[in-house]
Amino acid sequence: MSEPVTIVWFRRDLRLTDNPALGAAAERGGAVIPLFMWCPEDGGDWAPGGAQRWWLHHSLAALSASLEDKGSRLVLRQGPAKETLEELLEATGADAVYWNRRYEPALIDRDRELKSWLQEEAEVEAKSFNSHLLFEPWEVETKGGGPYKVYSPFWRMTQSMPEPDGPGDEPEELASPKSWPDSVGLDSLGLEPTRDWKDGLAAQWTPGEAGARERLDRFLSEGLEEYKDERDFPGREGVSRLSPHLHHGEIGPRLIYREVRRYMKDGRRDLGKAELKQCEHFVKEIFWREFAYHVLYHFPETPTEPLQAKYADFPWDNNKEALKQWQKGQTGYPIVDAGMRQLYATGWMHNRVRMIVASFLVKDLLISWEEGAAWFWDTLVDADLASNTLGWQWAGGCGADAAPYFRIFNPVLQGEKFDGDGDYVRRWVPELAELPNKVLHKPWEAEASTLEEAGVVLGEDYPERIVDHQKARESALAALDAVKG
């Protein structure tokens, strides 16, 4: 009998440690063929955006190097998936295909079809595993057996469930096939953007499993114990910045969960109640990600339709010019502009500021949350269908556990509260750097002499605000009346 040959189809699990599909293939014995197929068309309307593609390029390079260190390789192919798998099965004699699950609606459909084709027509073993979540979206249920639409009871239910599985180890050995199938060059996939944009991303991030682990270790030693107190201040290093690594599966939630729990138990020193609370808050955020996947899985229409159906008829204004000003960070509201510029320059934005800019777009500019979600989709390195949809519907007041539409963030007060010393705005809106804190978040209220001393001419160096928040608030509430009831 010939030796088994397993194709491991890498997708959003670009790591060797705690990779259940890879681990199972190594345990199965015989040769293992690591494969990545670039088939963006399979995601339907949600092919990876520009910033994600940049990340993917570098993450694939890192994965390929790690596999080579183990004496293996990463076979790269351009899709379509079915034809590519068919050809590879033929060329390699593989008798099994393993992968880790994805949860985007279009990909669930694709994977289901591929699995039955592999099992029934190609007659090979096809198995999928969970690498991406602590709990599968269908494992958490209300007492009545349905899905959750609110986070707190979801979180409480998970706390009464058995502990999530621990992370698996990196396989010790990956046996090579007798001969390797052809692979295309990484550059030929055309993932790297040609614009200079990529330099800003490269300065900020180290895609790949080692970069992810380094980020986690740094956060454990420098951020976790103060997380709850620090996480809302965008000018400080108070959050983990693990989101793009988690999104691409360079690190899994099981490993993060275990390391955080370990730290809480036997960290560098005995932690008191207050510090344990800080750490626990981080675990709760990891469960927001779980909740986002739960909602996407059970309500697969939400990327394009509000979960609360009455908002489908909201009278959006969708002013193209205002949308452009928001995208470019030229709204005249410093905290909004700082966030949008951070996003464009680094592919990431602090969570507090994501909430502020989203509220501003939806409520001050009356531009649909879908426009905002689309811009984030293209520019975020962590753009994630589950979390992005949840975040935008939260801001739009129309989703699961959403902020009610009538609760409208005041961008000046938010700036003063969460960037009181102005570090964040000064970093991203340098033309205002010389303004005193008192007016930094509302330059239109500054005396002419203050503006002059700071070298700012409003309307020239920095835009006049494009809307008056108080008036915009009233328009938003009037628009809300149209959908009430």
Q: Is 292 in the site for ligand FAD (CB under 6 A)?
A: yes
For the record, the structure tokens of 53 come out as 């593609």
Min. distance of Cβ 372 from ligand FAD in angstroms? 7
Residue nearest ligand FAD by beta-carbon distance: 391
Choose the catalytic residue: 351, 410, 416, 434: 351
- Among 316, 410, 431, 434, the one annotated catalytic: 316
| Annotation says 288 is catalytic | yes
Does 224 engage in binding with ligand FAD (CB under 6 A)?
Answer: no
Whole-angstrom CA distances from 27 to 3, 21, 68, 115, 301 are 13, 10, 19, 21, 38
**CA-closest candidate to residue 384, choices 372, 373, 395:** 373
392 touches ligand FAD (CB under 6 A): yes
Report if residue 429 touches ligand FAD, rule: CB under 6 A.
no
Among 67, 239, 260, 271, binds ligand FAD (CB under 6 A): 239
The residue assigned the tokens 């944009």 is 197
Give yes or no for residue 376 binding ligand FAD (CB under 6 A). Answer: yes
Range 12-51, binding ligand FAD (CB under 6 A): none
Minimum gap (Å) between residue 407 Cβ and ligand FAD: 14
Q: Is 54 a catalytic residue?
A: no
For 349, counting Cβ atoms within 10 Å of its Cβ (0-12 exposed, 13-18 middle, 19+ buried), the class is buried
**Are 289 and 387 in contact, with CB atoms under 8 Å apart?**
yes
**CA angle in degrees (0–180, nearest 5) for 104-108-114:** 140
Three-state secondary structure call for residue 6: strand
Beta-carbon contacts of residue 392 (< 8 Å; ≥ 6 apart)? 358, 369, 370, 372, 373, 376, 399
How far from 67 is each of 18, 73, 77, 192, 207, CA to CA, in Å?
Answer: 15, 5, 16, 21, 15
The active-site residue, picked from 86, 192, 230, 285, is 285
Taking the least distance from each CB to ligand FAD, the nearer of 59 and 240 is 240
Collapsed DSSP state (helix, strand, coil) of residue 390: helix
Report H helices in 399-468: 411-418, 423-428, 437-440, 448-453
367 counts as binding ligand FAD under rule CB under 6 A: no
Identify which of residues 100 and 240 has a Cβ nearer to ligand FAD in the complex.
240
Rule CB under 6 A: say whether 355 interacts with ligand FAD.
yes
Applying CB under 6 A, the span of 73-81, 101-109, 288-296, 420-428 interacting with ligand FAD comes to: 288-296
Tokens 């801001």 -> residue? 395
Q: With binding defined as CB under 6 A, does residue 378 bind ligand FAD?
A: no
68 CB-contact burial (10 Å; exposed 0-12 / middle 13-18 / buried 19+): exposed
Give catalytic status of residue 351 as yes or no.
Answer: yes
Query: Is residue 132 at the binding interface for ligand FAD, with CB under 6 A as the rule?
Result: no
326 is a catalytic site residue: no
CA 396 to mean position of chain CA atoms: 18
Residue 382 within binding range of ligand FAD, rule CB under 6 A:
yes
* Contact region with ligand FAD (CB under 6 A), list: 174-182, 381-389, 411-419, 439-447: 381-389
Based on the residue annotation, tell me whether 180 is a catalytic residue of this protein: no
Q: Choose between 74 and 256: whose C-beta lies nearer to ligand FAD.
A: 256
How far is residue 84's CA from residue 63's CA, in Å, rounded to a whole number?
20
Question: Smallest gap, in angstroms, from Cβ of residue 141 to ligand FAD?
Answer: 20
Q: Binding to ligand FAD by residue 242, rule CB under 6 A?
A: yes
Angle (CA) 196-201-202 rounded to 5° is: 95
Residue 9 appears among annotated catalytic residues: no
| Minimum distance from residue 270 beta carbon to ligand FAD (Å) | 24
Q: Peptide bond before 80: cis, by omega within 30 degrees of 0? A: yes
Given the rule CB under 6 A, which of 62-70, 79-87, 287-295, 322-330 is the region that contacts ligand FAD?
287-295
Measured distance CA(356)–CA(349) in Å, rounded? 11
Number of residues that bind ligand FAD (CB under 6 A): 28
74 binds ligand FAD (CB under 6 A): no
The answer to whether 289 contacts ligand FAD (rule: CB under 6 A) is yes
Residues contributing to the site for ligand FAD (CB under 6 A): 231, 239-243, 246-247, 285-286, 288-289, 292, 351, 354-355, 358, 376, 380, 382-384, 387-388, 390-392, 395
Catalytic residues: 285, 288, 316, 351, 369, 392
